[in-house]
Amino acid sequence: MKASRVASARSWLRTSNVPSDEYLEGIYYVQGRDFVDAGIVSSEIKKNLKEKGIPESIIRKVAVVTFEAEVNIISYAEQGTIQYYVEPGSITIEAKDIGIGIEDIELAQQEGYSTADDSIREMGFGAGMGLANIRKYSDEFEITSVPKEGTYLRSTIYVNGK
């Protein structure tokens, strides 16, 4: 191969390496009622972000968001997914599920409001702070739900004070 071709291939490789360095994403499946595995997805995401060198203060916020979203899918939905996207300046978490959905979104976000039954409370969940805390730690937050169909939640956390 000509030297100039090699050089341009090298420069292409370097350029194409930039996105893989700044971007990272993943998707995880969450099974409803599977309390034994509660926290696995959020731990996995936390581990990936640590390896990526994301600041601890940001990881803590993402951990709260992913953990609360994960426990909500396990507690109230049939099944769902949790996705995360690391982009330059922000990390976004999306939780989608198929399930009973939420009738009153405003009420559900109030601190202390919970429809958790005894089986959920026995496991230490159901304090009614999940959505309130997700909202608190998010720089952008959106939740929509269709009763008897499912729920969609998106949280974006800024990195470097974007």
Ligand X SMILES: Nc1ncnc2c1ncn2[C@@H]1O[C@H](COP(=O)(O)OP(=O)(O)O)[C@@H](O)[C@H]1O
Using CB under 5 A as the criterion, which residues of the chain lie in contact with Mg ion when the complex forms? 72, 130
Q: Which residue in the shown chain puts its C-beta closest to ligand X?
A: 130
Is 30 or 54 the residue whose CB approaches ligand X more closely? 30
| CB neighbours of residue 32 within 10 Å | 17
Q: How far is the CB of 65 from ligand X (least distance, A)?
A: 11
Q: How far is the CB of 34 from ligand X (least distance, A)?
A: 14
Give the residue among 66, 128, 65, 74 at the shortest CA–CA distance from 97. Answer: 74
Burial 41-77 (b: 16+ CB within 10 A, else e): bbeebbebbeeeebeeebbebbbbbbbbbbbbbbbbb
Residues 91-120 that bind ligand X (CB under 6 A): 97, 99-102, 108, 113-116
DSSP 139: S
127 binds ligand X (CB under 6 A): yes
- Are 41 and 66 in contact by the 8 Å Cβ rule? The answer is yes
- Are 37 and 123 in contact by the 8 Å Cβ rule? The answer is no
151 binds ligand X (CB under 6 A): yes
CA dihedral 50, 56, 61, 63 (to 10 degrees): 40
77 binds ligand X (CB under 6 A): yes
Is 24 or 132 the residue whose CB approaches ligand X more closely? 132
Contact of residue 100 among ligand X, Mg ion, none (CB under 5-8 Å per partner type): ligand X
152 binds ligand X (CB under 6 A): no
Q: How far is the CB of 87 from ligand X (least distance, A)?
A: 25
Site for ligand X, rule CB under 6 A: 68, 72-73, 75-77, 97, 99-102, 108, 113-116, 125-132, 151
